[in-house]
Structure 1
Amino acid sequence: MGTPVIIAGDVGGTKTYLAAFDPAAQGFDPLVEQRYQTASYPSAGALLKAFADETQIDPSRTVLGVPGPVHQLPVRAVNLPWLIDPSEISAVLNNTDVHLLNDLQATSYGTLVLEPDDLCQLNEGQRDPKGNIAVIAAGTGLGEGGLCWSEGRYAAIASEGGHATFGPSSPLEAELWHFLNERYGHVSWERVISGHGLAAIYDFLCERHPDRADASLAPEAEQSDRADAIARASLEGHSALAVTALDLFALLYGREAGNLALKLMSSGGVFVGGGIAPKILAKLRDGRFMEGFMDKGRMGEPLAAIPVHVVLNDKTALLGAAYWGAQF
C-alpha cells in the first residue's frame, strides 16, 4: 500500500483484535481486520507477525492496547503469560514505530469515536462537554481508566484501579469478603467484578445455601465459560441462586463505577465497557446497577447528574488504538 497504514490492536486475555487503518481517512473503518485466540501464540511478536504475513500489511506505525501497566517496558501482561516488548514487535514488522497503551487507555480513546447505536443509556444526566470521563470494563479482569480535557483535546488516564482493595458495604458483602479472602488472600475489586468474580459470587452463595445449588453450574461441571452460564441461568430464571448472584454482581459493579466517577469527578460521563456488560444488559438496566452507582450518601445527588452508558461495541479498544495512532 502506498499510503501510510497503522496497525491497531486490542490484546485481551482471551482474544485479540488486530486491524489496519488509513490514518488520513474520514472515520475509523478498518482496511482489514482479524480476530485471534490470544493463548494460541507464544508472544505478542508472534501474533503480530502472523497478522502481517496473512494480510501483507507493512505498517508505518503500530499501536496496541495491552492488559497491564505500560510505564515500564517490557509490559508484563495481566491475565496472560506474556512479556510484551515493543522492540520485539518492531523487529518482526520491519522496524515500524510501536506504541503500547494500557487497554483501558485504548478503550477510553475509543469512546470518543463511538456512534449513538454503540451505546445504551443507563442514566441520562447532563454531560459537561469538557468534563472528565470515567471508563470501567469488566471481562476476564476489571479495567478502570478515564479521560481528562487538556490543551484542547482529551487525554487518557492509565489506571490499575481494578486491583484496588474491595470494600464491603453490607453484612452480606462482608461475608462475601471473608469468603474471597480465604480463597485469594487480598480481595481486589477484580476478584468481584469480572467473569471469575461472578462465578465466585455464585460459589459464595452456594456455600451459604448448599440445598439450592445447581449442579450444572458447579465448577466440576466443566462449563466452557461458567460466568456466561451463570448469567444466562439468571436472566432466563433457571436458577434462584444465579439470579441472586447476578443481582449482587450488578449492584457491586454499579458501586465501583460510582467510586470511579467520584474519584475522577466524571461530569463528562461514565462508560461501562468490557465483554460482560452487553451480555447482561437487561440486568444492568433494571435499576440495580444505578442503585449501587448512586449509593454514596451525600454524594449521591451529584452522581445522579452524570450520564452513564453501556458500551455495546466490542471493538472500542481497537478503535481507540487506531484513534491514538492517527491523532498523537
Structure 2
Amino acid sequence: MNQGYPRLLGDIGGTNARWAWQESAGADLEDISVQPCEANASLQDSASSYLLTHGRKQPRWACIGIAAAVTGDAVHMTNSSWRFSISEFKEALGLERCLVINDFTALALSLPALKPVDLRAVGGGVAMPGAAIALLGPGTGLGISGLVRGAGGGYTALSGEGGHATLAAMDAQQAQLLGILRQRFSHVSAERVLSGAGLVNLYQALCTLHGCATRDLQPADVTDCAIAASDEQCVQTVRYFTQFLGGIAGNLALTLGALGGVYIGGGIVPRLGAAFDEALFRQSFEDKGRYRQMLVDIPVWVITASTPALVGASCALDSVIET
C-alpha cells in the first residue's frame, strides 16, 4: 500500500532547513538537502526552492518537524523570523495532508530506528526494553522530548518546551555564573546556557566572573578554542556547559523514569568530539543524591547520525495512517 506517498519531509531548526523526499513506503530518503534558513524568506519559499532544485513536482503528504511550539494553525519559530499558517502552507503546495510537529518530537520518533553506528555511548548500564526514553539536544536552541509506551505497545513522543524551564545551579560556582546571567536576562532558562547562543552567554559570564577581557566570539569560536585549548575561558566554558548539560539530562531522566536511556541530539556535542568530557558529564548526570544509583545504571548516547529527524518525520506520517 502506497498511501501518503510521495512525501516531502522537513526538519527546520533555527539555523538550517533540512529537506528530504520519500518516494514510496519503505524507500530510502532521497535528495537530502540542507539550506540556511536565512537563504529564504519563509518556509514555503524554502520548500518550493527544494522541490524546484531537485525536480520534484508534487508531494502528496508532508511532515515538517520545526523548532517551535505547535499549538494551532499559526506557527511562530522561537529562534528564527519565520512565521506561517499550516493550512496556507498545505494549500500553497497542493498537499493532501500536512503534519507539522515540534522538531524534537520528530527526532524522538526516530530513536527506535537508530543503529549502533548512529550513536556514541557515554557510559551507564543496559537500557531496559520498553521503558521510557529521554531526549535532549543543544543546538541553536535546546530541544527536549522523550518516548513513552502507549497502551497498544507502541511509543508516543512527548512534545514540550522544556528547554525554557528555569536553570538551577548545582554548586556555588554555578550559582555565581547564573547570578551574572540573571542581571542580563529576567529569566535564565536552560536554553540561555545550553545552546549556541548559550555558549557565548556562558563565556561572557565567566569572563565577568574572572575579570577577563571579553572577546567578540561566535559559538563556533568558543568550541574551536576549547577544542584547541587555545583560550582558558573557552575551555572552562565547555566544562561548565558539560556540567549543566549533565545536570539537566539527569533531571529529565528522573522526571520520565528514563530507564530506556537518554539520547543527546543537536549539533553542539557531536562537534565537540573529544573536548566533551564524558566523565564530567556522567558525574553531573549521576549526582542526584538518594537516586544516584538509578542514574548510574541509565545509559546515555550521543546521536551522531546526520539527519535522523527526517526519518522521524516519516514515522509521524506512518502513525497517521495507522490511526
Q: Does 1:14 align with 2:6?
A: no
Q: Does 1:45 align with 2:9?
A: no
Letter in 2 for 1:122: V
Letter in 2 for 1:206: C
Among candidates 293, 308, 327, match of residue 285 of structure 2: 293
1:228 corresponds to: 220
- Secondary structure in structure 1 of the residue aligned to 2:113: coil
The offset of 1:285, in angstroms, is 4.4
Contact 2:63 2:98 in 1 (8 A): yes
Letter in 2 for 1:174: A
* Identical columns (%): 31
Among candidates 291, 308, 315, match of residue 300 of structure 2: 308
Q: Distance in 1 between matches of 2:57 and 2:134?
A: 34
Number of residue pairs matched? 316
1:119 corresponds to: 119
Letter in 2 for 1:42: A
The offset of 1:88, in angstroms, is 2.0
Contact 1:65 1:317 in 2 (8 A): yes
1:68 corresponds to: 68
**TM-score of the aligned structures, taking structure 2 as reference length:** 0.93
- Secondary structure in structure 2 of the residue aligned to 1:58: coil
Give me the CA root mean square deviation.
1.7
- Secondary structure in structure 1 of the residue aligned to 2:88: helix
Contact 1:275 1:314 in 2 (8 A): no
Q: Does 1:89 align with 2:89?
A: yes
The offset of 1:23, in angstroms, is 4.2
2:25 corresponds to: 24
- Secondary structure in structure 1 of the residue aligned to 2:122: strand
**TM-score of the aligned structures, taking structure 1 as reference length:** 0.92
Cα offsets for 1:261-307 (capped at 9, x unmatched): 11111111100000101011323344111111111111111011111
Letter in 1 for 2:68: G
| Unmatched runs of 5 consecutive residues or more in structure 2 | none
Contact 1:131 1:149 in 2 (8 A): yes
Q: Distance in 2 between matches of 1:64 and 1:188?
A: 26
The offset of 1:57, in angstroms, is 3.5
- Secondary structure in structure 2 of the residue aligned to 1:229: helix
Q: Does 1:261 align with 2:260?
A: no
Deviates more, 1:30-39 or 1:127-136: 30-39
2:273 corresponds to: 281
